[in-house]
Amino acid sequence: MAAVENVVIIGSGPAGLTAALYAARAGLEPLVVAGFQAGGQLMLTTEVENFPGFPDGIMGPELMTRMRQQAQRFGTRFIDADADEVDFSGHPLRVKAQGCWIDARAVIIATGASARWLGVPGEERLRGHGVSSCATCDGFFFRERDVVVVGGGDSAMEEALFLANLCRSVTVVHRRRELRASRIMQERALNHPRIRFIWDTVVEEILGDDRVTGVRLRNVQTGETRDLACDAVFVAIGHQPNTAIFRGQVELDQDGYVRMYPGMRTSREGVFVAGDAEDRRYRQAITAAAAGCKAAMEVERWLAEQPLEPTAPADAAAARDGR
Ligand code: NAP
């Protein structure tokens, strides 16, 4: 490992790996702290049909393996562990992984987000076999079929509206009688002829052996349970940005997303961000990859503008640590 890395990229989904590819080809020899579950959310999907360049589709894990190989080909190095802690209070910036501190001139945060799941029986087992958290990714597999969407926020309405163009029927199951979604999204969903709503109801279990065949519902007012046949369940109860280690280090918004400033910058000089860790709106592999590309280009420019280090970096770190 270099005494001070040019750039450490935290995360190895499409944003992190594209940032690595661009940084590596720019001669920055990036180091990727890839995460314990390397590859990000695409490792949990099956076939990806909307990533340009793969007319026959590609499996999510294979796409990520290829992205990693491509970044590696130009000299990217990987640590297959989580970043446990960061210290962005001075320069060099510091990232801790596998018990060791890594010093870096620049950092790209690309830790992504994780879908929230219901945590009910059947959900994990049938993920990729009818249980999904992304209609844009998986809706197409269920065209002319009956699907359930769980949730009452904008994401759920968006998923339901997207699916209503493809599926025979869409049933939104919401735990209250009132939607959380914005008025306009509510109206669109409520007025759509192929979307119906089941209120005051939770999904207690997702049914099926090797693919989803239905859901067990419970009305929270009456306690009554019943089974509803369906071919897929789209869970849209929100996402959680993976940003816990950055709290107090860079500005986060009220939901924990990294606040991004022009030039893919964060509130901390030298720390950049790309992908779902800051983007709650698009959340696509292709948009994350594009963001990773932009962040790497911004890092390259930013590093070129920096004056040469006044002190040897190792000395600076030692001085800060009181060593
Ligand atoms: P959200 O607004 O937090 O809504 C989550 C929904 O899931 C809520 O209706 C919530 O029910 C329900 N829920 C949460 N946990 C649940 C559980 N364990 N079981 C059953 N239901 C559960 O999340 P979001 O819809 O992903 O939106 C996040 C943010 O992104 C929002 O600010 C939203 O406006 C924005 N967004 C905007 C757009 C757009 O403008 N096109 C699209 C997507 C997202 P309760 O209502 O009972 O809490």
Q: What is d(CA 288, CA 97) in angstroms, rounded to the nearest whole number?
A: 23
Q: What is d(CA 196, CA 220) in angstroms, rounded to the nearest whole number?
A: 18
Helices 14-25 and 285-305: angle between axes, nearest 10 degrees: 40
Residue 316: the pLDDT is 46
Residue 176 CB–ligand 1 contact under 6 Å: yes
Residue 44: the pLDDT is 64
Query: Are 5-114+239-320 and 117-235 equal in CATH topology?
Result: yes
Atom of ligand 1 nearest to the CA of 174: 21
Phi, psi of 177 (to 5 degrees): -100, 0
Residue 36: the pLDDT is 76
Alpha-carbon distance values, 157 to 108, 123, 132, 178 (Å): 32, 21, 15, 13
Which residues of the chain fall short of a pLDDT of 50? 310-323
Residue 151 CB–ligand 1 contact under 6 Å: yes
Q: Whose CA is nearest to atom 19 of ligand 1?
A: 118
Residue 154 CB–ligand 1 contact under 6 Å: yes
Q: What is d(CA 263, CA 255) in angstroms, rounded to the nearest whole number?
A: 22
Residue 175 CB–ligand 1 contact under 6 Å: yes
Atom of ligand 1 nearest to the CA of 152: 9
DSSP string, 101-154: EEEEEEEEE---EEE-----TTTTTTBTTTEES-HHHHGGGGTTSEEEEE-SSH
Q: Whose CA is nearest to atom 16 of ligand 1?
A: 237
pLDDT digits (tens, 9 = 90+) for 258-271: 999 999 999 999 99
5-114+239-320 has which fold? FAD/NAD(P)-binding domain (3.50.50)
State the DSSP H helix or E strand holding residue 220, giving kind and residue range, or none if neither: none
Q: What is d(CA 79, CA 309) in angstroms, rounded to the nearest whole number?
A: 26
In 10 A of CB 181, how many CB atoms?
23
Å from CA of 155 to ligand 1 middle: 6
Does the model's pTM come out above 0.75?
A: yes
Residue 152 CB–ligand 1 contact under 6 Å: yes
CATH, range 117-235:
3.50.50.60
Q: What is d(CA 102, CA 89) in angstroms, rounded to the nearest whole number?
A: 14
The residue extents of the domains of the chain are: 5-114+239-320, 117-235
Catalytic residues: 134, 137-138
Å from CA of 31 to ligand 1 middle: 35
